[in-house]
Amino acid sequence: MEKHTPIKPTESELEILQILWALGKATVRQVNDELSKTREVGYTTTLKLMQIMFEKQLVSRTDEGRYHVYEAVVSEESTQHLLLDKFIDATFRGSATKMVMQALGNQQVSKQELDEIRKLLDNIEKAQ
């Protein structure tokens, strides 16, 4: 049995994963159209990236007639988890709390969101 340590996607790969997570399934054309909304990018560039992601098993694909339909293999949650852990280590020397405090201080957070977070804090405290 092979055990794969999860692969950290590059920045460009993450962009594509975001689109696949949002769309569920998509062709290279669709992904490229989405990417093109925010920046200039050639079709074959996107194609190549998605081929690489296929080799790395970040995405799967099925033959749909002449073209391929891609889908993310890695989940949004597990990828966020992986990247978040690395980010906290690299940028906040491992302190999730420090990062949380900065994030809440920097960004605009609604009362509703604040309450959600409070509820989570209560649950964490109860559980420990």
Q: Which of 7, 14, 41, 69 binds a second copy (CB under 8 A)?
A: 14
CB 36 within 8 A of CB 46: no
CB 73 within 8 A of CB 60: yes
Q: How far apart are CA 75 and CA 81, in angstroms?
A: 10
91 binds DNA (CB under 7 A): no
52 binds DNA (CB under 7 A): yes
124 binds a second copy (CB under 8 A): yes
| Residue 28 φ/ψ region, left for φ over 0, alpha for ψ in the -120 to 50 degree band, beta for the rest | alpha
Question: And the tokens for 85?
Answer: 């852990």
83 binds DNA (CB under 7 A): no
Which chain residues interact with a second copy by CB under 8 A?
Answer: 11, 14-15, 18, 77, 79-81, 83-85, 87-88, 90-93, 96-97, 99-107, 109, 111, 113-114, 116-118, 120-121, 124-125, 128
